[in-house]
């Protein structure tokens, strides 16, 4: 058995104590217990890290370098063994709750069925490693991308490219815990705080994790992961499914515009509060109409860990501004183009004018930005007749096609959704747990559904973004107790999520 650990987390996060022990100590203990359970006196550990890691066992082999692509990681695994039957146990180093019992189950299943790739499903991210056989590594090398950086999905995206050719085994959780959307790692400040909160009383027995995580649901709300900012009030289209006309008499008329100084202040506050958050432009209003739109994007990207999402109709972009946007070379920029339909008549019915311009913008975005560009349609009774054709046509150009359910905004609009996809049992709102919204005048609504911004009474410019985030604690605590007050009672968005 070979153990390969990959680290991209800051050393300071790994050294921070979680209920008495650092992540470094916890991972070392996991390796020792796993070895004792599976193959005593046979500990071969390789750590590939992008930062210094003090305090590792002397017997471990440590390599230091830049973040690895999929191909780079597979090459690293291939260099660990020439034995086709050797199991390689792969995990991210920054996962303090890696569980020896679950890991042993994975290896036992892998051996029993002579698997080539074995993983756990239904558990929170961070409890289990992946197991791959030496005989599968050469085939994975032919599938791995030289360009795609290895992300939190680990080896699975590579396996997925030819999953029917590989012998894949799965260890399933008795209770599906994926709906909690937990990532038990310490690479980001938000997840480090989550691990700190869940460390006390964390069970050694893997089957106790579901009850532990569920009984401390209020601790899941750590820091905002998604900060949506309205930078301009004016739209370029009257969307048939938008509630914005209930907020402004004429959505096409010029309105208030957020200044560069105000936006820079918000970005600075976001960076200080939650440095790995996604800043979304724009909550309402077409970002293309803001003359400093690309400057706003650059302002976010000037912070090394923040990411930026530009959501646009693709209509209204001045040629020079559009070219500046597409010229930005950053993996932390994402652009979503709302199209809804490829049928000109249906597009005009749903969105109004601008079909040709929007289509050209979307095609150019896909060509210039690649995997950083997405096209989107809202699935509703209006768009359903042509939705399949929309998906098929765009999927030939890019895999990045998003289909979003219709939102009736807690009953403020007539429901146009196709079928009911809500969970059987309601759970605390993902948006309350993860999102923060700021209007052009600094007001902070409870969530995107709070069209009147009447729930919190907080202004980000006056009281600070941190205060605005803390104002949502009490409503989330109500959700944990199964109480849905105010607009939450009629909400149908609690189970949808952003980044």
Go through the domains of the chain in sequence order and give each one's CATH number.
Answer: 2-219 (3.90.550.10), 226-490 (3.20.20.70)
pLDDT at position 330 over 90: yes
Burial of 412 (0-12, 13-18, 19+ CB in 10 A): middle
Note whether 397 and 370 are within 8 A (CB).
Answer: no
Give the dihedral of Cα atoms 371, 374, 375, 379; nearest 10 deg.
120
> Bridge-partner residues for 226, per DSSP?
278, 435
Q: How many CB atoms within 10 Å of residue 5? A: 26
Instruction: Quote the pLDDT of residue 82.
Output: 82
Instruction: Quote the pLDDT of residue 398.
Output: 97
pLDDT at position 275 over 80: yes
Give 351's contacts (C-beta < 8 A, 6+ positions apart).
Answer: 237, 238, 239, 240, 313, 338, 340, 358
Instruction: Quote the pLDDT of residue 462.
Output: 83
- When pLDDT is averaged across residues 92-103 and rounded to a whole number, the result is 97
Q: 159-198 burial, b if ≥16 CB within 10 A, otherwise e?
A: beeeeeebebbebebeeebeebebbbbbbbbbbbbbbbbb
pLDDT at position 252 over 70: yes
Burial of 85 (0-12, 13-18, 19+ CB in 10 A): exposed
Instruction: Quote the pLDDT of residue 463.
Output: 72
pLDDT at position 147 over 90: no
Q: Indicate the pLDDT class of residue 110, thresholds 50, 70 and 90.
A: very high
- When pLDDT is averaged across residues 419-430 and rounded to a whole number, the result is 93
Instruction: Quote the pLDDT of residue 304.
Output: 95
CA distance to 7, 36, 40, 42, per residue, from 33 (Å): 20, 5, 9, 12
Note whether 332 and 280 are within 8 A (CB).
Answer: no
Smallest Cα–Cα separation from 497: which of 435, 425, 419, 418? 435
Instruction: Quote the pLDDT of residue 38.
Output: 86
Q: 334-377, pLDDT tens digit by residue?
A: 999 999 999 999 999 999 999 999 999 999 999 999 999 999 99
Give the 3-state secondary structure of residue 433. Answer: helix
Instruction: Quote the pLDDT of residue 148.
Output: 87
d(CA 282, CA 390): 24
d(CA 210, CA 105): 17
Instruction: Quote the pLDDT of residue 498.
Output: 85
Instruction: Quote the pLDDT of residue 98.
Output: 98
Give the 3-state secondary structure of residue 94. Answer: coil
pLDDT at position 106 over 90: yes
Note whether 199 and 412 are within 8 A (CB).
Answer: no
pLDDT: which is higher, 400 or 38: 400
* pLDDT above 70 as % of the chain: 99
Instruction: Quote the pLDDT of residue 455.
Output: 66
pLDDT at position 456 over 90: no
Smallest Cα–Cα separation from 212: which of 221, 203, 224? 203
Note whether 208 and 158 are within 8 A (CB).
Answer: no
CA distance to 156, 287, 300, 301, per residue, from 125 (Å): 13, 35, 28, 27
> Bridge-partner residues for 132, per DSSP?
88, 117
Instruction: Quote the pLDDT of residue 41.
Output: 64
Rounded (5°) CA angle 359-340-498:
110
Q: Indicate the pLDDT class of residue 42, thresholds 50, 70 and 90.
A: low
Q: How many CB atoms within 10 Å of residue 401? A: 17
Average pLDDT, rounded, for the chain: 95
Smallest Cα–Cα separation from 438: which of 411, 416, 458, 455? 458
Q: 289-322, pLDDT tens digit by residue?
A: 999 999 999 999 999 999 999 999 999 999 999 9
The Cβ-side half-sphere exposure at 101, using a 13 Å CA radius, reads 9
pLDDT at position 83 over 90: no
Instruction: Quote the pLDDT of residue 281.
Output: 98
């Amino acid at each position: 058995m070979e153990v390969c650990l990959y680290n991209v987390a800051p050393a300071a996060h790994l050294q921070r104590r979680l209920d008495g022990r650092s992540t470094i100590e916890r991972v070392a203990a996991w390796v020792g217990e796993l070895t004792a359970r599976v193959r005593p006196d046979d500990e071969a550990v390789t750590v590939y890290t992008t930062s210094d890691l003090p305090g590792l066992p002397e017997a471990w082999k440590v390599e230091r370098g830049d973040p690895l692509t999929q191909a780079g990681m597979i090459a690293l695994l291939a260099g660990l063994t020439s034995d086709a039957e050797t199991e390689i146990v792969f995990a991210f180093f920054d996962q303090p709750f890696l569980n020896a019992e679950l890991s042993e189950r994975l290896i036992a299943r892998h051996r029993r069925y002579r698997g080539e790739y074995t993983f756990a499903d239904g558990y929170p991210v961070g409890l289990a490693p992946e197991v791959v056989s030496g005989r599968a590594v050469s085939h994975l090398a032919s599938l791995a991308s030289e360009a795609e950086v290895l992300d939190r999905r680990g080896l699975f995206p590579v396996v997925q490219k030819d999953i029917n050719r590989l012998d894949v085994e799965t260890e399933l959780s008795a209770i599906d815990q994926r709906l909690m959307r937990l990532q038990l790692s310490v690479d980001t400040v938000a997840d480090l705080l989550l691990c700190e909160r869940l460390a006390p009383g964390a069970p050694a027995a893997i089957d106790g994790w579901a009850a532990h995580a569920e009984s401390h649901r209020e601790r899941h709300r750590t820091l905002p992961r998604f900060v949506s900012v309205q930078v301009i009030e004016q739209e370029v289209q009257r969307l048939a499914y938008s509630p914005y006309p209930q907020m402004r008499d004429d959505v096409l008329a010029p309105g208030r515009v957020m200044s560069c100084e105000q936006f820079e202040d918000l970005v600075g506050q976001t960076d200080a509060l939650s440095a790995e958050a996604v800043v979304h432009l724009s909550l309402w209003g077409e970002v293309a109409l803001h003359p400093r739109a690309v400057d706003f994007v650059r302002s976010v990207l000037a912070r090394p860990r923040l990411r930026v999402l530009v959501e646009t109709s693709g209509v209204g972009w001045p040629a020079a501004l559009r070219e500046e946007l597409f010229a930005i070379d950053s993996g932390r920029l994402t652009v979503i183009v709302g199209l809804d339909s490829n049928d000109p008549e249906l597009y005009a019915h749903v969105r109004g004018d601008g079909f040709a311009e929007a289509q050209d913008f979307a095609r150019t975005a896909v060509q210039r930005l690649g995997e950083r560009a997405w096209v989107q349609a809202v699935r509703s009774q209006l768009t359903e007749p042509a939705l399949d054709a929309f998906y098929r046509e765009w999927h030939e150009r890019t895999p990045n096609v998003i289909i979003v359910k219709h939102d009736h905004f807690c009953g403020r609009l007539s429901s146009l959704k196709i079928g009911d996809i809500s969970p059987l049992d309601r759970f605390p709102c993902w948006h309350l747990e993860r999102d923060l919204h700021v209007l052009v005048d600094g007001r902070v609504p409870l969530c995107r559904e709070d069209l009147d911004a009447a729930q919190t009474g907080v202004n980000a410019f006056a009281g600070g973004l941190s205060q605005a985030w803390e104002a949502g604690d009490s409503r989330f605590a109500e959700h944990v107790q199964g109480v849905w007050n105010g607009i939450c009672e009629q909400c149908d968005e609690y189970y949808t999520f952003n980044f």
